[in-house]
Structures are given as C-alpha cells and as structure tokens.
C-alpha cells in the first residue's frame, strides 16, 4: 500500500483529506491513483503534507509523507521530456513546431 493511501486512510478517507487540504475529493483521488503527492508539495507552492500530518494526531509526520509519497522517477537522461513527477511511461509529449515556417493565416497545428 502506498504512503499516500495510508495517510488518507488514517485521516478517515478521501472526503476528510480533501477538507483538511482545501482541495476537491477528485484531487485526492488523483494523488491516490498516482501514488504520490502533487509536484507543488516539492516546490513549496502547497503544504498538504503538513496539514495532513497535523490532522493525523501523530500517526505520521509531514517529513515521512513527503519522503514516501513523492516523485520517484528520475528526470530523463539527455534532457528528455520526462518529469520527475511522472511515473514511467507517463511522459508529457510536446509537439515541436517551427514558427518561422508557419504561414500567416495558417494554423500551426494543422
């Protein structure tokens, strides 16, 4: 069982976890599906792990949750498009378009 799943269960389920973190239940379900907290936890944009730990009444710490429910995939070698937050095989694909060859009035995506 993943650390994020254990933490959510310790809090009493998806709905309570969502209330504690100030997010929607579907956001928590996304964390569970991916088995990790969102990227924003590791960039300092959110503090879900701290909120969850505080609500857990000592069952786990924010440091434990961050260490065990974080991204595990290293960035792709050679500057690839894999993100550290993506699971293997879930790389973002980016279509490259040379804007210098685009003609006025023509869509870049057609």
* pLDDT per position as a tens digit, 31-40: 999 999 999 9
The token duo for 105 is 């009035």
Tens of pLDDT along 41-69? Answer: 999 999 999 999 999 999 999 999 999 99
d(CA 41, CA 28): 13
> Residue 27 domain-assigned?
yes
Residue 13's domain comprises: 3-68
Q: Determine contact, residues 6/13, Cβ cutoff 8 Å.
A: no
DSSP 8-state class, residue 78:
T
> Residue 40 domain-assigned?
yes
* N- to C-terminal Cα separation, the chain: 45
> Residue 107 domain-assigned?
no
The token duo for 53 is 């730990």
Tokens 């792709």 correspond to what residue?
A: 76
- Tally of domains in the chain: 1
């Amino acid at each position: 069982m993943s650390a994020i799943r254990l933490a959510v269960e310790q809090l009493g389920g998806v709905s309570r976890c969502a209330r504690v973190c100030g997010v929607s239940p579907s956001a928590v379900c996304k964390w569970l599906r991916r088995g990790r907290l969102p990227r924003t936890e590791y960039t300092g944009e959110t503090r879900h792990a701290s909120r969850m730990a505080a609500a857990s009444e000592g069952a786990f710490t924010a440091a434990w949750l961050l260490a065990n429910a974080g991204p595990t995939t290293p960035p792709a070698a050679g500057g690839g498009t894999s993100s550290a937050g993506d699971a293997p095989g879930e790389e973002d694909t980016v279509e490259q378009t040379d804007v210098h060859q685009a003609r006025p009035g023509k869509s870049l995506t057609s």
